[in-house]
Amino acid sequence: MDRLCSSYPEILFIPTSMTNNIIYGSSKFRSKQRFPVLSYYHDSSKAAICRSSQPLAGLTKKCKEDILLLQAIAKSSHNSPQLVIVDTRPKINALANKAKGKGFEDTKNYPFCKFYFSGIENIHVMRESRQKLFQAIYSNHDSYISFMNAVDNSGWMKHIKAILDAAIFVSQTILCGTNVLVHCSDGWDRTSQTCALASLFLDPFYRTIHGFIILIEKDFLSFGHRFSTRCQHLAGDNKNVAPIFLQFLDCVWQVLRQFPASFQFNELFLIYISKNVYSCEYGTFLYNSVSERKKNKYFK
């Protein structure tokens, strides 16, 4: 897939009826060529979570191949002919991207789709929120109420709730037997968070130690979450640094605290993973994609 999308894994799953021309056409119509592919299939409901990046729709553009691909994904459901598209961004952000030649799917061109915005903020808002959270934690406070007000003013918990709400909506839609397409702007930050959490909610395998490792490999490492850039593993401009994976672990912790008996691991495992994201002791989280790890002769 390097020819088509260098940030995607080598093995992808798409509807069997799709031709190379349709796939290539759809990839050219999606940001970073990240066309819709399978992320998770729920065996009981026979519904699938797919993921992609935003379409390059602008104000008026449409793509026949992209429409055919999404239509095939919708028809692959055993229970519903409709496809639910979850744009994880706030609507105002998506509209701004639309004015720049990107944006989101117009249901006039995709009449078989139902659209939903989940309102998760971008990396710049998340970075600022983390800074305010750290300030709240490490500052001296006169009282517990003062501390909690500072935490609340950071907006961190509001962002965590938005991510959890998006994942809950996706998982509920899957349980109803309807296929879902999840995307944000480029499909490697909010999309990874949402797809991974929804998979965690739907499948107890991902709540085991081994399964959780596979979940991270599936929705973050293989699908090109930019660990090197977001975690600033190399010195340089910090404008693209963001706590995306840390937020994912926080979301998992929130669920773990409520349903500890549903998990094979506890918070110590999450802390261990978090430390290794930044220490890179094992190299698992080096670079921004599978292709970069192979190019630099490190493939885990």
User: How many C-beta neighbours within 10 Å does residue 77 have?
Assistant: 19
* H helix runs in the chain, sequence order: 20-28, 64-75, 91-99, 123-138, 144-154, 156-175, 190-202, 209-216, 227-230, 244-258, 267-279, 290-295
Sheet-wide strand order for 113-117: 37-42, 47-52, 179-183, 83-87, 113-117
Report, in angstroms and rounded to the nearest whole number, the Rg of the chain calculated over CA atoms: 19
For the CA atoms of 255, 257, 260, 265, what is the dihedral angle to 10 degrees?
80
Q: Is 184 a catalytic residue?
A: yes
Residue of 50, 113, 184, 195 marked catalytic: 184
Active site residues: 184
